[in-house]
Amino acid sequence: MRGDSPILRTVARFAVPLTVWVSIVIFLQGHNLPGGGFIAGVMAAAAGAMYLLAFGVANAALIPWWKVPVVGLLISVLTGAGAFLMGRSYMDHDIWHFHLPIVGEYELPTATFFDLGVYLIVLGTLMTIFVEMAQEEGR
Amino acid sequence: MPEVDLLLPSIVFAPFLAAGLALGVGRFFGKRTGFLMVLAAAASFLQCLQLAVGTVGAPVTFVHEWIPGLRVALSFRADPYGLFFALLISGIGTLVGIYALGYMPALAPRRLGQFCAALLAFVGAMLGVGLADDLILLFVFWEATSVTSFILIGFWYEQEEACKGAWTALQVTALGGMVMLAGFILVGLTCGTYSLHQLTQSRDLQARLLESHAFLPALLLILAGALTKSAQWPFHFWLPRAMVAPTPVSTYLHAATMVKAGVFLLGRMLPLFGAAWLWTAVLVPIGLVTFLLGAYQALTATDLKAILARSTVSTLGLFTAIYGLATPEQDALGIFAHATYKGALFLIAGIVEHATHTRDIRRLGGLRRRMPVTFAVAVVAALSMAGVYPTLGFHAKEALYESLLHGPRLAGSAWQGAVIAVSVAANALIFAAAARFVSGVFLGAPSEHAAHAREAGPVLWGPPALLAGLALGMGLAAPTTERMVGALSSHPDAALHLSLAPAIGGPLLLSGATFCLGILFFRARGGLDALRRWRPAWLSTERTWDAAMAGVVGGATAFSSHWQSGSLRWYLSGTLMFTVGLSGLALWSGGLSLRDVVVRFEEMQWYGVALCAMLTASAVMVVRSRTRIGAALALTANGFLTSLLFVVYRSPDILLTQILIESVSTIFILLVLYFMPPFRVEGFSAMRKAFHVAISLAVGLCLFTFIMLSTSPTLREAHNLAADYLSRSLADAGGANAVNVIIVDFRAIDTNAEITVLMVVGLLVYGLLRSRRRSP
């Protein structure tokens, strides 16, 4: 997995950012349109895998991937615990309404934070496995 | 008074807090951590004393809700007997703490912190056992004593003996505790309360328990807990093994407190179960056998601590028998007398070991001149153990004989003679063991080990001297002692008469017989020792227990090495069989089968048929493929074809998921292909092939049935989950995408569990691969 294919590199230079961008869009629209944290996380991991194949495992391993799911779980659990601390049941979600200056009325369900945790866990776990497996192969 | 309300939980929980402190700051305090331990124990003692003096007649209680749904409460109650127990625990705990300051060798600060923390946690757990009013709370503290004593017994964990002793103790006492929990639950379910106070006071509840079917099992289960904790025959073997602990621990756990917890529990349960004949029929024989056997083994043991441990077992047997005979008025006196003299003797054994570096009584002797203070203390304590006038031990023995002669259960019964004979013989053996302890260690010509012995400092001989002083002083001050133990007994209204001038009568006569027999046994101890050779090996319950434990370990090893074979195929078969079995059971119990499926052939489209044909073809290719990469590609093709199915059903969310998962898993398969063993398709036996085919068919059939049933119009109209979710999605959760709303909102707790599993899997892969790479 040294990443020595020029074709793959050239494609990946465009495809990786594009995929990540799509994954973020899919994540944000998830509550109303097809998408959500799980799919977006898998898609981001696919982008990560492409990066790994194109630029080599050494570059992909620069991020400590195993910490990402830990942060993700923390976000998810804290979201759920927030409702618990305010005297409602665990994982009871809320919808926040904002009046933003330009956008106008904006709705943000607290479930989005929970979904962000899911996103990070899926991405982090898959990337941990990819990077570790690829390093194993490089030996 | 509000401050008194909080006094009870603070007595119990303060030692735990101090334990945490000792563990946390021990490394900064160094040697001074020991003072923290003494201070915490002393504080508990003073608080108990305050309660005992300040609240005579009206026991303080503390009740706080814990698990109201199960009627379990965090309740404490300082009745006289519990308070007596708590005073004993915290008082002797303080003395042992002081002794440990001088006894524990120069430990690393970290280890000293651990020692103090474990001892303090033990103090807290024991106080909890003494003061808890709720049976479940009592059980929690009971098991906490088992666990902390495991840590304390195995404190020298570098030695194999220590590990073994600690293990045996934990196995016996913790198993006993769990059995006891079952008994408690039976009592709680039958009577509707776990409160000891209510259970022991209410005649209605006792009558209800007595009439129910739960009475017999509850009685036996609770007795099992008490008898294992108090090291009664046939579970007596763990106590001598636990003597590998540091001496302060042995003193504290195995003479003064923990082993008394079982006896204490018997005292607590007496009002509840004492009326049953089975109570007497179980406790009296076991108690007397332990009494006699322990006393005999105490006389013939050679290790100083073993002598004391065996005689402790013996005395606990006596208490068991006393409770079995329902004559508990003397329990506080007997327990207090035993705690003082046995605690003192254990501490002296520790001093002797420190000075001579041996505990073998055959190598000791003649320490009288070299260690005069220790000698004097030992003589006083041994006199109390032997029950010689005017010590506390004498009064306890008189009270015992009194109750044997005139007790309500025994007087006039056919067994009275036998019980008295056994008691006299066992007491005589104890007398001989006490005499042997003093003469073997201190009298005679100095041995080579004794040649360089020097007197210990006051930190070491102070605590045993205080205990021995109590044993003598309270024996002399008989009227005060009578009032005190009368007030603190488990049955305070029962009359108990102590006087300095012994009354001429039956008990004194039996005491005389005990002394004569004791002197005879002491003279003939060589002959008694020879008796051991006549005992057949199979009689040893210790060996049976060890064999049973080895059997458990062997069985578990055989089971897991068969099940955890390391073969992925086998794991997969197991998982699939389980899944099929479970869903088959669900179908069967729901009364559903393929017959309930309604298929509307007129809805069939040509592209549906084509898709199914391609799916089947790719599935066949997976199975027929000769290379692994071929199989992997065919599997991928199958997955992408499946995603087309979601196009047909217009389900974009799942379609997206399916495509992404297929891409990522293909990458993954290619990554791990490199490590796979050679692809093997030949060489399976016909049996194995048939097995695989059978599992595959079962899985296919099961899934097919489920899918067909869930899409079957008749069932969809009856249980339409989808419509329910769709209607609530936007209104309740503010999301139009019902699939995502289900994941993150309606079933968020499920998702929470799933992502936790996912994270753990990722971390495991990381850890396993990293550690493998680091160790070539």
Summarize pLDDT for B531-577 with one digit per residue, the tens: 777 766 666 777 888 888 889 999 999 998 888 887 788 888 889 99
Confidence of residue B494 (pLDDT cuts 50, 70, 90): low
Q: Of residues A132 and B525, which shows the higher confidence score?
A: A132
Residues 104-133 on A with a CB inside 8 Å of B are 107, 109, 111-112, 114-115, 117-118, 121-122, 124-126, 128-130, 132-133
- B596 HSE (CA, 13 A, CB side): 20
Confidence of residue B736 (pLDDT cuts 50, 70, 90): confident
Q: Of residues B498 and A121, which shows the higher confidence score?
A: A121
Crossing angle of helices B215-229 and B160-191, rounded to 10°: 150
Nearest by CB to residue B745, choosing from A43, A93, A139, is A93
In chain A, residues with a C-beta closer than 8 Å to the C-beta of B765 are: 128-129, 132
Q: What's the whole-number mean pLDDT along residues B722-740?
A: 77
> Which residues is A98 bridged to in the sheet?
A106
Which pLDDT belongs to residue B2? Answer: 44
Q: What's the whole-number mean pLDDT along residues B142-157?
A: 89
Q: What's the token pair of residue B593?
A: 């089968």
In chain A, residues with a C-beta closer than 8 Å to the C-beta of B748 are: 80, 91, 93, 111, 114
Inter-chain contact B671–A137, Cβ cutoff 8 Å?
yes
Percent of chain B at pLDDT > 90 equals 11
Average pLDDT score, chain B: 83
Nearest 10 degrees: CA dihedral of B436, B440, B444, B450?
-160
* H or E segment and range at residue B713: helix B713-718
Q: What's the token pair of residue B90?
A: 């915290």
Q: Any chain B CB within 8 A of the CB of A82?
A: no
- B371-375, B486-490, B680-684: least confidently modelled range: B680-684
Inter-chain contact B734–A31, Cβ cutoff 8 Å?
yes
Residue found under tokens 């005589």 = B428
- B192 HSE (CA, 13 A, CB side): 5
Q: Which residues does B107 contact at the CB level (< 8 Å), separation at least 6?
A: B115
- Per-residue pLDDT for B220 more than 60? yes
SS3 annotation, A20-73? HHHHHHHHHHCCCCCCCHHHHHHHHHHHHHHHHHHHCHHHHCCCCCCHHHHHHH
3-state secondary structure of B621: helix
Q: What's the whole-number mean pLDDT along residues B481-508?
A: 73
Q: Which residues does B6 contact at the CB level (< 8 Å), separation at least 6?
A: B62
- B96-100, B566-570, B710-714, B750-754: least confidently modelled range: B710-714
In chain B, residues with a C-beta closer than 8 Å to the C-beta of A42 are: 657, 660-661, 664
CB-based contact A17:B726 (threshold 8 Å)? no
- Per-residue pLDDT for B4 more than 70? no
- Per-residue pLDDT for B120 more than 50? yes
What is d(CA B46, CA B565) in angstroms, rounded to the nearest whole number? 59
Q: What's the token pair of residue A86?
A: 């305010």
Nearest by CB to residue A93, choosing from B660, B733, B759, is B733
Q: What's the whole-number mean pLDDT along residues A6-24?
A: 92
Nearest by CB to residue A39, choosing from B660, B733, B734, is B660
Nearest alpha-carbon partner for B304 in B235, B382, B372: B382
In chain A, residues with a C-beta closer than 8 Å to the C-beta of B769 are: 132-133, 135-136
What is d(CA B483, CA B470) in angstroms, rounded to the nearest whole number? 16
**What count of residues does chain B have?**
776
- Per-residue pLDDT for A1 more than 80? no
Q: What's the whole-number mean pLDDT along residues A106-118?
A: 82
Which pLDDT belongs to residue B1? Answer: 42
Inter-chain contact B755–A137, Cβ cutoff 8 Å?
no
Inter-chain contact B755–A73, Cβ cutoff 8 Å?
yes
Q: What's the whole-number mean pLDDT along residues B661-673?
A: 84
Inter-chain contact B735–A114, Cβ cutoff 8 Å?
no
CB-based contact B326:B270 (threshold 8 Å)? yes
Task: For residue B712, give how far its alpha carbon lies from the nearest alpha carbon of chain A (Å).
Answer: 26
- B34-48, B592-606, B611-625: least confidently modelled range: B592-606
3-state secondary structure of B564: coil
- Per-residue pLDDT for B356 more than 70? yes
CA quadruple A106, A107, A110, A115: dihedral positive or negative? negative
- B252-256, B398-402, B500-504, B618-622: least confidently modelled range: B500-504
Whole-structure pTM over 0.80, yes or no? no
Q: A with B: how many residue pairs have Cβ under 8 Å apart?
A: 148
* H or E segment and range at residue B607: helix B606-624
Confidence of residue B57 (pLDDT cuts 50, 70, 90): low
Which pLDDT belongs to residue B638? Answer: 93
Inter-chain contact A42–B758, Cβ cutoff 8 Å?
no
Q: Which amino acid is at A105?
A: E
Percent of chain B at pLDDT > 70 equals 94
Which pLDDT belongs to residue A102? Answer: 67
Alpha helices in B443-477 (DSSP H): 458-476
Task: For residue B743, give how far its alpha carbon lies from the nearest alpha carbon of chain A (Å).
Answer: 9
Q: What's the whole-number mean pLDDT along residues B332-343?
A: 87
CB-based contact B319:B395 (threshold 8 Å)? no
* H or E segment and range at residue A95: strand A95-100
CB-based contact B234:B313 (threshold 8 Å)? no
Residue B213 backbone dihedrals phi, psi, to 5 degrees: -70, -20
3-state secondary structure of B65: strand
Q: Of residues B499 and B432, which shows the higher confidence score?
A: B432
ipTM: 0.89
- Measured from the Cβ of residue B606, the count of other Cβ atoms closer than 10 Å reads 7
Pick the residue of B658, B671, B770 with the most A CBs within 10 A to test the interface with A by mutation: B671
3-state secondary structure of B411: coil
Q: What's the whole-number mean pLDDT along residues B67-85?
A: 84
CB-based contact B315:B384 (threshold 8 Å)? no
Q: Chain-centre distance of CA B314, in angstroms?
A: 23
Q: What's the token pair of residue B167?
A: 């293990």
8-state DSSP, B399: H
Pick the residue of A1, A31, A50, A110 with the most B CBs within 10 A to test the interface with B by mutation: A31
Which pLDDT belongs to residue B613? Answer: 93
Inter-chain contact B667–A49, Cβ cutoff 8 Å?
yes
Inter-chain contact A118–B751, Cβ cutoff 8 Å?
yes
Nearest by CB to residue B741, choosing from A31, A66, A124, is A31
Instruction: Tell me how far CA of residue B322 lies from CA of A53, B331, B478, B603, in angstroms.
Output: 80, 8, 22, 85
Inter-chain contact B762–A90, Cβ cutoff 8 Å?
no
> Which residues is A105 bridged to in the sheet?
A99
Q: What angle do CA A132, A135, A138 make, to 5 degrees?
A: 160
What is d(CA B13, CA B10) in angstroms, rounded to the nearest whole number? 5
Instruction: Tell me how far CA of residue B554 lies from CA of B547, B548, B551, B557, B773, in angstroms.
Output: 10, 10, 5, 5, 32
What is d(CA B333, CA B485) in angstroms, rounded to the nearest whole number? 6
Q: What's the token pair of residue A93?
A: 């979600």
Q: β-strand B72-77 against B61-67: which pairing, if any?
A: antiparallel
- Per-residue pLDDT for A86 more than 60? yes
Nearest alpha-carbon partner for B354 in B443, B464, B276: B464
Confidence of residue B769 (pLDDT cuts 50, 70, 90): confident
Residues 3-42 on A with a CB inside 8 Å of B are 26, 30-39, 42
Q: Which residues does B67 contact at the CB level (< 8 Å), separation at least 6?
A: none
Q: Chain-centre distance of CA B700, in angstroms?
A: 47
Instruction: Tell me how far CA of residue B214 lies from CA of B189, B195, B220, B225, B331, in angstroms.
Output: 9, 17, 10, 17, 28
Q: What's the whole-number mean pLDDT along residues B418-429?
A: 88
Query: Which residue in A has a C-alpha nearest to residue B736's C-alpha?
Result: A32
Q: What's the token pair of residue B231?
A: 């090291």
What is d(CA B128, CA B119) in angstroms, rounded to the nearest whole number? 14
CB-based contact A117:A82 (threshold 8 Å)? no
